[in-house]
Structure 1
Amino acid sequence: MKMIPPQPFTYEAGKRAVLLLHGFTGNTADVRKLGRYLHAKGYTCHAPLYTGHGGAAEELLQLSPENWWRDAEEGYRLLTAKGYREIAVAGVSLGGVFALRLGAEYPVKGIVSMCAPIQGKSAEELFERILGYAKQYKTFEGKTPDIVQAEVEAIASLPRDQLSGLQDLISNTAIQLDDIEAPVAVMQGGLDQPLYLNSANVIYEKVSNPHKSYKVYPNSGHILTLGPEQQQVFSDVEHFLNQLDWENE
């Protein structure tokens, strides 16, 4: 089957810009609908695609999490290079972690953290995520179940040391939460795993800015932007953005 790889996207509109960040093993499709929604409301939106994402799972194991962090940084720099001076950041899962880290290290107008694992999973759990992604991707390629199984088993024997680096990146971001000065909206799927629900509480409690909010979407799982309550999520993201202290009205 001919695979059409996902791509970064930029929807330009007004002077207010939003950087949209997808999750680990995800791609820009995770945030494209949100980007289109916000674009229709007058926001410029850009979403980078992390290196190795949207392709074969084997590529992910050859990369460092710092590669993906640099991709998030480059997304921010792309918007500034285009002349945008007011940038908010919204991310899903690992994208939420990156959004928080950007807020600690760069000037941002506001941060939307959706299902961010600030209390990270173990390297083994992250590796299981890669194996699940590999099975899905190879099946979508049209490979037979036997070939899919054989190739997934081959991946299971590959080194996974760099996934510990992802744990470190998440842990270091948790330490930086006190440095965030921008308003923060924490959004969490009620049907998500307990780790993510606990992480959402930690993020909300540790962010020092009093302009913060926390909302649980009871019928949603991990990827809020693709779940059954996505329209409410989109509306809430827009409401949060509209309440920020933008200089360009």
Structure 2
Amino acid sequence: MLKIVPPKPFFYKGGEKAVLLLHSFTSNTIDMKKLGKYLQRNDYSCYAPLYSGHGLTAEELLTYRPSDWWQDVLNGYQFLRDEGFEKIAVIGLSLGGVFALKAGQELEINAVVTMSVPLHREASFLQNRVFHYAKGYKQLEGKKEEQINLEMNRLQNMSIDSLVEFQQLINKTMNKLALLTSPIRILYGELDEPLYKESAEVIFQSVATNKKTMKGYPNSKHLMTIGTDINDVNKDILTFLDDLTW
């Protein structure tokens, strides 16, 4: 059976301006590598934490909770502070975007960029995401169909308490959007579910800052950092960061 090498956090040392890069649910830091390298080439230092359980099996993933993943974000923020960075922007994709909003509400953040952020998500939808991830992971491991089906049946009986907590985290974060006063850039893919455009509009209307912009990308689905519009997305994020008062 094939042993999958788990992904790792990464730190790309660049200039004096720091960016915390936050990946999506059931994914990993690979989502953020191209953006991180691009920003590093343009004089930004980037750190991307890996959330606990991510990049591992679905069974291991479900033993962790959003409170653990949020702690990973806090540890990433502290890593950059310990490296001597006083001003930090945060960029997040999907779940990472929810965490970016939460960081903007609770931490000293210079600016926020969100991509593909859900306004709400039911635990049952999140469970289906985990099942999809689990099946793909087991196939990558080279397991036979019979073994996969057996393990998938067991997985369906695992507790989804962590996913209920995830649903509540999204709701709580969205209810506190008025606490966000940092400049914000809100991005979504026009080929993604309509929910994400609706979410972008709600975030735009609800945040307290008047330094806010929103944009949809015509050829982008959910994972905007590795999609067809990647060059435009990267350039737009860089322009937003360059225009900030650091």
TM-score bracket relative to the smaller structure = over 0.9
Cα shift readout 1:63-102 (whole Å, capped 9, x = no counterpart):
1111001111111011001110010000000000000110
Q: Percent same amino acid among aligned pairs?
A: 44
The residue type equivalent to 2:158 in the other structure is L
1:46 alignment partner, SS class: strand
Pair 1:151-2:131 in alignment: no
* 3-state SS in 2 of match to 1:108: coil
Give the deviation of 1:161 after TM superposition. Answer: 2.0
Task: Show the counterpart of 1:109.
Answer: 110
Secondary structure of 2:187's match?
strand
Alignment pair present for 1:21 and 2:30 = no
TM-score by length of 2: 0.97
Which segment is superposed worse, 88-97 or 144-153? 144-153
The aligned counterpart of 1:206 is: 206
Name the residue aligned to 2:41: 40
Query: In structure 2, what residue type is equivalent to 1:219?
Result: N
Residue of structure 2 in register with 1:184 after alignment: 184
Distance (Å, rounded) in 2 between the aligned partners of 1:147 and 1:235: 45
CA distance in 1 between partners of 2:11 and 2:111 (Å): 19
Query: Corresponding residue for 2:56?
Result: 55
> Which deviates further from its counterpart, 123-132 or 172-181?
172-181
Q: CA RMSD in A?
A: 0.9
Task: Flag structure 1 segments of 5+ consecutive residues without an equivalent.
Answer: none
1:201 offset after TM fit, Å? 1.1
How far 1:145 sits from its partner (Å)? 2.1
Where do residues 61-210 of structure 1 align in structure 2 (5 Å cutoff)?
A: 61-117=62-118, 119-210=119-210
The residue identity in structure 2 corresponding to 1:183 is P
User: How far off its partner does 1:234 sit?
Assistant: 0.5
Describe the SS at the equivalent of 1:158.
coil
Displacement of 1:149: 2.1
> 2:97 touches 2:117 (CA, 8 Å); kept in 1?
yes
Cα distance in 2 for partners of 1:216, 1:26 equals: 22
Does structure 1 retain, via aligned residues, the 8 Å contact 2:38–2:234? Answer: yes
Q: Deviations over 1:139-161 (max 9, x none)?
A: 11111222222211210111112
SS at the partner of 2:176? helix
TM-score, normalization by structure 1: 0.96
- Measure the CA separation in 2 of the matches of 1:45 and 1:104: 21
Match of 1:234 in 2: 234
What amino acid is aligned across from residue 21 of structure 1 in structure 2? Answer: L
Any conservation in 1 of the 2:113–2:184 contact (CA below 8 Å)? yes
Measured in 2, the distance between the counterparts of 1:89 and 1:16 equals 11
Q: Distance in 2 between matches of 1:197 and 1:36?
A: 27
Contiguous gaps of at least 5 residues in structure 2: none
Q: 1:176-235, CA deviations, whole angstroms, 9 ceiling, x for partnerless residues?
A: 211111100000011111222211111111112111110001111001001111111001
1:221 corresponding residue in structure 2: 221
Deviation string 1:21-60 (CA, Å, 9 cap, x unpaired) is: 0011010001011000100101000000000000000012
SS class of match (2:213)? strand
Where do 4+ consecutive residues of structure 1 move more than 2 Å?
Answer: none
Q: SS in structure 2 opposite 1:191? A: coil
**Residues 32 and 225 in structure 2, CA contact (< 8 A), matched pair in contact too:** yes
Equivalent position of 1:31 in the other structure: 32
